[in-house]
Amino acid sequence: MSRIWLVSITAIAIAFSFVNSAEAEDITTKKLLIKDNTNVAKRQVQVQSKDVGVTLAEADDPSLLGAAVHLYSATDDYCVILPAGPDWSTNGKKWKYKNRTTKNKAQVGDGKLRVKIKSGVTYSLIDNGVQGVVDTQVQFGAGTRYCMRCTGNKKDESTKFQAKDCAAVPCGAEPTICDSTVTTTTTTTSTTTTTLDPACPTGDFLDVASAPGAGGTYPDPTLSVSCTATDVIVTSNGIPHYTYIATTPHPLSAQSHVFTFTRTPTIAASTTDIPCLGTIGVSINGIPTYGPNEGPIPDPYGDPIANVTLHECMGHTGGNEDYHYHALLQKCLSVSGLVAEPWLNADPPSNVASSIVGYASDGFPVYGPYGCDDGVCTTVIEYLSSWDATGYESVDCTSSLDCSADYECALAMISGVRKLACVAKDYAWDNNAYSAKAGTEFLDECNGHVGPLGDYHYHATETFPYILGCFTGTPSADVMGGQCPPGP
């Protein structure tokens, strides 16, 4: 089951400043097609109507207000916002939307309505088998909202829902707001999402309220996400959604986290150092993310992953009794990971592009390690860090017993090749160095790249720096601190 806001929502409460109060106009459906595939790049949604009730005059001006496409059934809730802007054009007879990066298209004119979504579709058929009835509501700008209701009269199975020539009947009530003209403030417990166009990414965050929580007498995890016109605001109490296991002397306590980052990140003229100590972003369960080093004791500014100070989901508590991550593990940060011990789950398949696991403080998303190598995702590859370990003692260790006292056996990049090596316990930044490498699988200094669809994003990697090596965009003003001090 996939409950989706922009892609997936299970429970949502929304306060809004404006919603078109008119009821939807019921129109006939010429075609409704939903294709599912384990390869997300091969999924798509198509909606078409030739109803005479559709008119250009009722379409308002989507170049100023965008358009909303809302598909929902008893099990799924999928909202796509096609934003205002230059991708819209009109010849006086119809409005057309075409985005060359996402390949998403829409069109409305007298007696004709068409929508085709080819990028980022996450409406799920595979997990339900059949859909039964699917409702579609489409609205261009603040104009008439059209309702189309269909059963799978041509095909209703785990990979395809297809309907043709559906009669004009009322849609069921919309489970969530899907409106391109609305400024929303959203409190959400939600599952994974892919943002097709700039929008409030509420659905990217997990439904932590449905998870078992840290256990014992710890409070339940809380998480909410809201958007202003310019920023995303994430608040949480910092309690993990899974069983807490202590790995440091510091206790776990609820926090009052507030993370703010821009909705429209851009690549800055120059990169910015991440702070030596402190927050560099937030994961999709509301836990803060930190850089690839610890504090001054016991192993000064050492690598916490190599020094094995982390829980299996790559987090631990710090001196402020706050739980945080130094790396991001996809199986702990997914819908299937909303269990007591997600680290026992199977690793995600290497032939499926990873979902978003967090956001950096500059607003760019952080994906898991796997991603598409081309625009149609015919090939999925694992993205790798371009940072090489320099302060290592030896390679091909089998355990830390093979290393001397100041070294640990850990996975590291050695001249562009992942190997187990005896790496230095302290001063992680002094003992790793960025070196640009050939090959699309290698990331930049900040641990990100411009993907095949033209969007910049980061990837979580198995080796240093794990999440970020620097900020590619401009971090939010609340990011404090500079580089770690050098070693002796």
> Which sequence spans correspond to the domains of the chain?
9-173, 205-459
What pLDDT score was predicted for residue 481? 64
CA 68 to chain centre: 20
Residue given tokens 């997936």 in the structure block: 8
Cβ-based neighbours of 395, under 8 Å, separated by 6 or more:
414, 419, 420, 421, 422
Residue given tokens 């298209």 in the structure block: 105
Per-residue pLDDT of the chain (488 residues), as tens digits, is 443 333 332 222 323 333 333 468 999 999 999 998 877 778 899 999 999 999 998 888 888 888 999 998 888 888 888 888 888 999 999 999 998 888 899 999 999 999 999 887 878 777 667 888 999 999 998 889 999 999 988 988 888 999 999 999 999 888 877 877 653 333 333 333 333 345 678 888 998 998 999 999 999 999 999 888 889 999 999 999 999 999 999 999 999 999 999 998 999 999 999 999 889 999 999 999 999 999 887 888 889 988 888 999 999 999 899 999 999 999 999 989 999 999 999 999 998 899 999 999 999 999 999 999 887 788 999 999 999 999 999 999 999 999 999 999 999 999 999 999 999 999 999 999 999 999 999 999 999 999 988 889 999 999 999 999 999 999 998 777 677 778 77
Largest CA distance in the chain: 79
The answer to whether 474 and 362 have CB atoms below 8 angstroms apart is yes
Q: Residue 98 is which amino acid?
A: K
What pLDDT score was predicted for residue 204? 87
CA–CA separation, 435 vs 278, rounded Å?
25
Give 235's strand partners. 224, 258
> What is the pTM assigned to this prediction?
0.64
Look up residue 463 and give its two tokens. 């080796």
DSSP string of 324-351?
Answer: EESS--GGGSSGGG-SS-GGGSPPPPTT
Other CB atoms within 10 Å distance of the CB of residue 274: 31
Closest listed residue to residue 160, CA positions, set 26, 329, 277, 42: 42
Residue 465, preceding peptide bond in cis (omega within 30° of 0):
yes
Residue given tokens 């007591």 in the structure block: 340
Cα angle value 45/49/50 (rounded, 5°) = 150
Look up residue 152 and give its two tokens. 């799978």
Number of H helices, E strands in the chain: 1, 33
Look up residue 399 and give its two tokens. 């355990």
